[in-house]
Copies of this chain bind each other. A is one copy, B any other.
Amino acid sequence: MANTAQVLYDFTAEPGNNELTVREGETVTITNQGVGGGWIEAQNSRGEVGLVPEDYIELPGGGGNVGHVAAPVAAHAPDLSFFDAFAAPANNTTQNQASNGKDPWSVWNQDTTGGSSNNWAAQPEGTITGKSAAPDPWGSTAQSHPQAYQGPGAEEDEWDDEWDDVKSNSESGDGGAIQRGGATGSSMKISLNNRFPGFSKSGPELFLLCKQPPKGKEKITIYMGEVGPVWSYPEAQLDCVVADPKKGTKMYGLKSYIEYHVIPNTTNRPVNHRYKHFDWLYERLLDKFGSAIPIPSLPDKQVTGRFEEEFIKMRMERLQGWMTRMCRHPVVSNSDVFQLFLTYKDEKDWKTGKRKAEKDEDVGVMIFSSIEPEAPDLDPIEVEQKCDQFSRFTKAMDDGVKDLLTVGQEHWKRCTGPLPKEYQRIGKAFQNLSSVFTSSGYQGEATLTDAMTSAGKTYEEIAQMVAEQPRKDLHFLMENNNEYKGLLGCFPDTIGVHKAAIEKVKEGDRLVAASKITPQDKVTMAKRVSTMSYALQAEMNHFHSNRIYDYNRVMQLYLEEQVKFYETIAEKLKQAHSQFTTM
């Protein structure tokens, strides 16, 4: 009995990952308890051996692990532990994504159809139209970044990394373990409910009423430009290249991960990062800037599988897109944490910087305390009008982008499915007729049959061109709009912060009357909401200028490739045409 153990919860193995599927109540034999990283090796009654998360198994007494933990499915355990937050997606999301794993594009479809769970729907209608105020737009924070973050554990590969890291971090005393680790070593990211720790407790009044701006902090200046308030842009545009994905292994080769080179144009020196490092950066940027600046989500986590090569390429391309967008943002790219990510010198430098970033208290709405607009204060009515305008615009653009994604997705399917099949059938029919003609025994047949065969082959080539074309043009149009969908999905949260602040300012007189705040506080609040508005306007102007550039660029690229495509077809058909003769 010493070697057998009871399975506590269902666990579905990730194919090709040396894992073992087990069911609650099943008895397994422990074959290796020392695998590490939160895993043990077990054998089931059918003799199959594989890895199972150690917390899924009730180990024999005296083992080093906690025998009982909360059930992995939230519904079973009202006392949500960190483990729950991790385990539920592992059982659900992962499997859903695995079934879609063959099609890296399915995310377009999923996201665009999941209307009920998107940010716009979650937010009360009144918040957007401005007719009624949402008392707490952040109340739905847990659901408010569906695209931004698909929940931890969506990628087995990655959450396995985390387990491992948490353990090694604990051992090495990495500060990250304090915030991110847990007693059992099985925790994942911090709870989504706590994403804005400085804010969710107290709302925008934390900034509106803070007694004095922190001393000696970095200042973010807003200038009045031709288009209105603008961020201060650096002279040289920061940029970086994400390249050279390399596979690394650990746990005696049982587990693998991908490491990328990130090469900033400032140092031209590559630094190594894994997906989880990008994810860490995303979390830091979201914490720090999310109230003022939409921080788009990272590319979706996805299960690796048979299409690993393609998946890695796609993820790298999307990480590149995300990094490029972050580099382009004057406030984000200038931040310490972003600079650390791009230019850390060595392991020690990275760890020190990481600890510092995680301890940063200038997060949530406090970011506004760093902002200094070089312009006169705005009237609160104007602040509200601007905010409503941005809300309407971003909502409308979100709809437009999703519409284009839906249409594009259908077009993609047609171009890679029925359409090339049809051209192929046309090509085959020509060739088939040609080969019948060849059997006529009539002399002088060859010119026609050669021409027919050639025309048939041309249509087969066209079939292939049609099927391959979307990757050359529609792909980029889709990626661009997908990126914008992600960005736009952040606006309800960002705008919500502003709306909440505006409501607080509107309550000013009442709060003074009730002696909750002083008349001076009321004046300060109006001034500070003006600062917030300048920030929002600067951000919108940044968004617009980027949008105009991005859409011009992607439409150029799309149309250029479309022109080439049609010209090539015309040229091929012209050649096929020249072989026929009625002389």
Q: A residues bordering B, Cβ < 8 Å?
A: 226-227, 389, 392-393, 396-397, 399-401, 403-404, 407-408, 410-411, 414, 418-419, 422, 425-426, 429-430, 432-433, 436-437, 439-445, 447-448, 451-452, 455, 540-541, 544-545, 547-549, 551-553, 555-556, 559-560, 562-563, 566-567, 569-570, 573-574, 576-577, 580-582
Q: Is the CB of B552 within 8 A of A582?
A: yes
Q: Which of B407, B419, B545, B556 is close to A425, meaning CB atoms less than 8 Å apart? A: B407
What's the minimum C-beta distance from A93 to chain B, rounded to whole angstroms? 30
**A441: B residues at CB distance < 8 A:** 389, 393
Q: Which of B410, B444, B562, B576 is close to A227, meaning CB atoms less than 8 Å apart? A: B444
Q: Is the CB of A429 within 8 A of B410?
A: no
**A439: B residues at CB distance < 8 A:** 392-393, 396
Closest to A567 in B: B570
Closest to A396 in B: B436
Would A551 and B425 be within 8 Å (CB), given that A559-B455, A559-B577 are in contact?
no
Q: Which of B432, B544, B562 is close to A573, meaning CB atoms less than 8 Å apart? A: B562
The answer for the CA separation of A577 and B574 in the assembled complex, in Å, is: 24
Q: Is the CB of A577 within 8 A of B556?
A: yes
Q: Is the CB of A559 within 8 A of B573?
A: yes
Q: Is the CB of B227 within 8 A of A455?
A: no
Closest to A424 in B: B407
What's the minimum C-beta distance from A19 to chain B, rounded to whole angstroms? 42
The answer for the CA separation of A430 and B569 in the assembled complex, in Å, is: 25
The answer for the CA separation of A418 and B417 in the assembled complex, in Å, is: 13
The answer for the CA separation of A80 and B225 in the assembled complex, in Å, is: 95
The answer for the CA separation of A560 and B551 in the assembled complex, in Å, is: 36
The answer for the CA separation of A198 and B410 in the assembled complex, in Å, is: 62
Q: Is the CB of A429 within 8 A of B400?
A: yes
Q: Is the CB of B440 within 8 A of A393?
A: yes
Q: Is the CB of A411 within 8 A of B422?
A: yes
Q: Is the CB of A426 within 8 A of B448?
A: no
Q: List 11 A-B contacts (CB under 8 A).
A: A400-B436, A403-B432, A404-B429, A407-B426, A414-B418, A414-B419, A442-B541, A444-B548, A447-B552, A452-B555, A563-B577
The answer for the CA separation of A563 and B458 in the assembled complex, in Å, is: 12
The answer for the CA separation of A447 and B555 in the assembled complex, in Å, is: 13
What's the minimum C-beta distance from A389 to chain B, rounded to whole angstroms? 6
Q: Which of B397, B418, B426, B569 is close to A566, meaning CB atoms less than 8 Å apart? A: B569
Q: A227-B442, A444-B548 are in contact. List 9 more A-B contacts (CB 8 A).
A: A393-B441, A414-B419, A433-B551, A445-B544, A448-B548, A448-B551, A549-B582, A563-B573, A566-B573
**A547: B residues at CB distance < 8 A:** 437
What's the minimum C-beta distance from A394 to chain B, rounded to whole angstroms? 10
What's the minimum C-beta distance from A100 to chain B, rounded to whole angstroms? 23
The answer for the CA separation of A441 and B385 in the assembled complex, in Å, is: 13
Q: Is the CB of B436 within 8 A of A393?
A: yes
**A540: B residues at CB distance < 8 A:** 442
**A419: B residues at CB distance < 8 A:** 414, 419
Q: Is the CB of A401 within 8 A of B442?
A: no
Q: Is the CB of A544 within 8 A of B411?
A: no
Most buried by B among A437, A455, A545, A547: A437
Most buried by B among A400, A414, A547: A400
Q: Is the CB of B566 within 8 A of A580?
A: no
Would A440 and B544 be within 8 Å (CB), given that A403-B432, A452-B555 are in contact?
yes
Closest to A414 in B: B422
Q: Is the CB of B426 within 8 A of A411?
A: yes
**A414: B residues at CB distance < 8 A:** 418-419, 422
